[in-house]
């Protein structure tokens, strides 16, 4: 049986819009941009949890997402955004390695759906392997 270890294992991850600086969108007020209706998206593949979050948010807003392309990694999303194919909504942590080197902009999102709660889970009846325990502790410190 796999269960959430406890409420302390909850992690919050903020989603941001990742855009090409040359697109001009970075200079606009992020609260005025209806991200889910206006821009072409570089999205993660349809089986990803991030894709499901965005589709659900769009559905709840009565919008249809304009998918330009779907990719399987944040690296690929970065390359597509840098090539000017659209905007990508990704976890803030995924942007660190690429933003400066490719002149991309990170725009914070204040939408309720942009703050994701994740849980770290483990088997309740088995001790965690030392590598898994180290990863667990590292992720908990990232809050």
Helix, strand, or coil (residue 119): strand
Integer Cα distance of 141 and 143 in angstroms: 5
Q: Please state whether the predicted TM-score (pTM) of the whole model is above 0.85.
A: no
pLDDT given at position 36: 64
Q: What string of DSSP letters covers 16-84?
A: EEEEEGGGSGGGS-GGG--HHHHSEEEEE-TTSHHHHHHHHHHHHTT---EEEEEESSHHHHHHHHHTT
pLDDT value for 23: 56
Q: What's residue 69's pLDDT?
A: 95
CATH code: domain 14-116 is: 3.40.190.10
Question: In this structure, what token pair is assigned to residue 63?
Answer: 């919008």
Do 39 and 109 touch, CB atoms closer than 8 A?
no
pLDDT at 1: 37
Extents of the domains making up the chain:
14-116
**Per-residue model confidence (pLDDT) at position 4:** 45
Q: Is 138 helix (H, G, I), strand (E, B) or coil?
A: helix
- Nearest partner of 119 among 4, 3, 15, judged by Cα: 4
Which neighbouring-strand residues pair with 117? Answer: 12
Cβ-Cβ contacts under 8 Å for 140 (sequence gap 6 or more): 8, 9, 11, 120
Per-residue pLDDT of the chain (143 residues; tens, 9 = 90+): 344 444 455 667 789 888 887 655 555 555 555 666 678 899 999 999 999 999 998 888 888 888 999 999 998 999 999 998 989 999 888 887 777 778 788 888 888 888 887 777 777 777 888 998 888 788 777 65
């Amino acid at each position: 049986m796999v269960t959430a270890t406890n409420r302390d294992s909850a992690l919050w991850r903020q989603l941001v819009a990742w855009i090409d600086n040359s697109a001009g969108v970075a200079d606009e007020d992020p609260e005025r941009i209806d991200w889910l209706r206006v821009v072409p998206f570089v999205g993660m593949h349809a089986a990803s949890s991030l894709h499901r979050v965005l589709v659900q948010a769009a559905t709840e807003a009565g919008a249809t997402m304009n998918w330009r392309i779907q990719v399987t990694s944040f690296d690929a999303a970065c390359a597509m955004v840098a090539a000017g194919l659209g905007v990508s909504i990704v976890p803030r942590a995924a942007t660190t390695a690429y933003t400066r080197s490719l002149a991309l902009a990170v725009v914070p999102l204040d939408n309720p759906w942009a703050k994701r709660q994740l849980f770290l889970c483990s088997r309740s009846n088995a001790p965690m392997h030392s590598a898994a325990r180290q990863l667990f502790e590292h992720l908990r410190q990232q809050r």
